[in-house]
Amino acid sequence: MPRALLLSGSLGMGHDVVAEACAGSLHANGWSTRTLDAMRLLGRRGGPAGERVFRAMLAVPGLYDGFHFAALRSGNRLASLTDAAARRRIVPRLREYLDAEPADLVISVFSTGASAASRLAWRYPRTSHVVFCSDVTPHRLWVHPGVDLYLVSSAVAEAAVRRFEPEARVLVIPPAVREPFYHPPAQPQARARLGIPAGERCVLLMSGAWGLGPVAGAAEALAAAGVHVLAVAGRNARLEQMLLAAARRQPRLRAFGFTDRIPELMAAADLVVTSSGDTCNEARTVGRPLLLLDVVPGHGRDNLQHELELGDAGVTSPDPASVLRCALAALDRIKPAPGPDTPARSLAAWEAAFMSALESIGL
């Protein structure tokens, strides 16, 4: 049985869901897989410190935008030093793992993992290295020597990779989406389970695992305006408590913490209000229009623009009054589907494209 190692990174959940989708397809095609978290490979202190730095940058308006567009995008000296410092910690641990557990394939879905794996390519000549970047514009630290194949989800991303490696093998494939989103329940069934009346307006409101932006305030405002709101806090415990308190005041508001019921919640909703990221691919797979919260700086701004270009999406400023106004207008524009719900994307099409990409490099 061929063996694959997936290198993810636990900053939010975006990288993890891509790794999970890839692992699911590999399993279905006879592979064994294991996923390693590059943030944990930084060590007991390095991983938490890296997350604290990232969160701190997001908390200062404009700081992460400046770092992303001025440093990461072009790969200046500051970005290179940051990458080298992380790689020095990760490479010895990754080498130790691969020596003990050889892999036929390494798939990096996190730029720091890609950097570390590329430095070890000489040591494992029989191991293929694939880098899968779901961002619409991969920055400099995604692109490294010793990579056999880059997988991206847009022509813009393909051009961004070739900016730094003109001869790179790059394939554009459908976005990686986890298997449950390809067969969600029908909307009437999902609503019956959640106690949402048929024919009434319903919104799913979430903003990644960290719950960025005005989720609590927007959820309460929408519920007060007569909309049924399914609000998800992710791993943000403080936000979860705020949502539970708001739900006690607003009977149309249903609060969730971290949950695996997102396919069901999307199926129940008429509109998904979320930040730019992999949730957008999941909502499009289920067949729900999007209203995007402009809360993720740096790569999030590129991804937001791409979602708008794809269509069936709007954008709102990140304050409760703006979210309320834009969401109500978006709900007014939604036309009832002429027939029963069917997923807008196919699991078979994704798996065929993904496995064909691996076949292209002899796997």
Among residues 205, 215, 219, 258, the alpha carbon closest in space to that of 239 is found at 215
Based on the fold, state whether residues 74 and 173 are members of the same structural domain: yes
Do residues 161 and 170 touch, judged by C-beta distance below 8 A? Answer: yes
- Cα–Cα separations (whole angstroms), residue 253 to 139, 232, 235, 294, 319: 39, 11, 19, 23, 18
Based on the fold, state whether residues 84 and 172 are members of the same structural domain: yes
Based on the fold, state whether residues 141 and 231 are members of the same structural domain: no
The string of pLDDT tens digits covering residues 115-135 is 999 999 999 999 999 999 999
Q: What is the pLDDT of residue 346?
A: 84
Reported confidence tier of residue 49, pLDDT bands at 50, 70, 90: confident
Q: What is the pLDDT of residue 292?
A: 97
Do residues 3 and 102 touch, judged by C-beta distance below 8 A? Answer: yes
Based on the fold, state whether residues 193 and 297 are members of the same structural domain: yes
Phi–psi pair at 288, nearest 5 degrees: -115, 140
β strands within 156-238, DSSP E? 170-172, 202-206, 228-232
What's the CATH number where 52 sits? 3.40.50.2300
The string of pLDDT tens digits covering residues 261-302 is 999 999 999 999 999 989 999 999 999 999 999 999 999 999
The string of pLDDT tens digits covering residues 186-217 is 999 999 999 999 989 999 999 988 888 999 99
β strands within 143-244, DSSP E? 149-152, 170-172, 202-206, 228-232
Q: What is the DSSP code string of 82-110?
A: HHHHHHHHHHHHHHHHHHHS--SEEEE-S
Based on the fold, state whether residues 57 and 68 are members of the same structural domain: yes
The share of the chain scoring above pLDDT 70, in percent, equals 98
Residue 338 located in a structural domain: no
Based on the fold, state whether residues 299 and 164 are members of the same structural domain: no
What range does the domain containing 82 cover?
A: 3-177+347-359
Q: What is the pLDDT of residue 61?
A: 85
Q: How far apart are CA 274 and CA 260, in angstroms?
A: 16
pTM: 0.92
